[in-house]
Amino acid sequence: MILELKQVKTHIGQFRILQDITFAVPEGKVTVILGRNGAGKTTTLRSIMGLTPPTEGEILLDGKRIEGLPPHVIARKGVGFVPEDQAVFSALTVNENLRLAMRGRDQSAEERLTFVLDVFPDLKEKLSRKGGGLSGGQKQMLAIGRALVRDNRVLLVDEPSKGLAPIMVEKLARALRVIKDQTTVVLVEQNFALASAVGERYVIIDDGHTVREGILCELEQDRELLRRYLGISPANGERGRAG
């Protein structure tokens, strides 16, 4: 297991947000974190990154504890994080955004840049375009690309499909299927169609607890679980976005 969370509890201010998050992420696979709005998915990723450090519990990267370390140290150990808000530098070009992420890296960063541009041909066409001039989907690709040019062992990606047009979601799914051959991915995703298209394992979080983890294709058959924790009617396979 490349990453393990054991009974992680996280407070934000006086609020107990995560109460018992326990799951394991196998190397070289996409693990999807599912759960309704407010369940604690983002806080789980932020806890792994040290942005909201756990107050109790253990987080292990390659068997070594990382909880309590500052975010930049966790990043340096090879954990990449693509937050929900498609963070790219608006005033810099696509090329500059990627080069900045590569700064101080070895020769293999150039190879990873080539890989990123192969995975996201949209970015290749727009290398000299300013980040601020990209569509939402292109910004998301750039944000993921910036994480990929670093030699990350694990990539945490928070709801990449949020607000994207269906064609962009399709491109993203295609890219994620290629990316998982290079790096282990932990994907928070409410779009169940995308989740099941790219994911191998799942973890369901509800009210700050992990309620189930397992193999994603088995979850697809479990209508009761889908309905109960995700509000999905499997007839259309897609979660409603209300709320």
Give contact residues for ligand ADP (rule: CB under 6 A).
Answer: 12-13, 15, 17, 35, 37-43
Identify the residue among 10, 42, 152, 161 touching Mg ion (CB under 5 A): 42
**Best CA proximity match to 205, nearest among 22, 35, 48:** 35
Amino acid occupying residue 174: R
Q: Which does 17 bind (CB under 5 to 8 A by kind): ligand ADP, Mg ion, none?
A: ligand ADP
Q: Which does 243 bind (CB under 5 to 8 A by kind): ligand ADP, Mg ion, none?
A: none
CA distance 213 to 226: 13
Q: Which residue is nearest to Mg ion (CB)?
A: 42
Select 45 or 109, whichever has its Cβ closest to Mg ion.
45
Under 8 Å between Cβ of 53 and 10:
yes
Minimal distance, residue 236 CB to Mg ion, in Å: 23
Under 8 Å between Cβ of 194 and 186:
no
Interaction between residue 161 and Mg ion (CB under 5 A): no
Could you count the other beta carbons within 10 Å of the beta carbon of residue 167? 9
**Number of helices (H), then strands (E), in the chain:** 10, 10
Select 13 or 63, whichever has its Cβ closest to ligand ADP.
13
CA distance 151 to 155: 10
Select 120 or 192, whichever has its Cβ closest to ligand ADP.
192
Select 41 or 146, whichever has its Cβ closest to Mg ion.
41
Select 39 or 117, whichever has its Cβ closest to ligand ADP.
39
Select 42 or 140, whichever has its Cβ closest to Mg ion.
42
Q: Which does 39 bind (CB under 5 to 8 A by kind): ligand ADP, Mg ion, none?
A: ligand ADP
Q: Is the four-CA dihedral 60, 65, 68, 72 of positive or negative sign?
A: negative
Judged by CB under 5 A, which stretch of 35-43, 116-124, 178-186, 206-214 contacts Mg ion? 35-43
Kindly state the number of chain residues that form the binding site for Mg ion, as judged by CB under 5 A: 2
Q: Which does 15 bind (CB under 5 to 8 A by kind): Mg ion, ligand ADP, none?
A: ligand ADP
Under 8 Å between Cβ of 113 and 148:
no
Q: Where are the alpha helices (DSSP H) in the chain?
A: 41-49, 71-76, 94-102, 108-119, 121-125, 136-148, 166-179, 192-198, 216-219, 223-225
Minimal distance, residue 16 CB to ligand ADP, in Å: 9
Buried b (16+ CB within 10 A) or exposed e, 16-48: ebbbebebebeeebbbbbbbbeebbbbbbbbbb
Minimal distance, residue 112 CB to ligand ADP, in Å: 28
State the residues that interact with Mg ion by CB under 5 A. Answer: 41-42
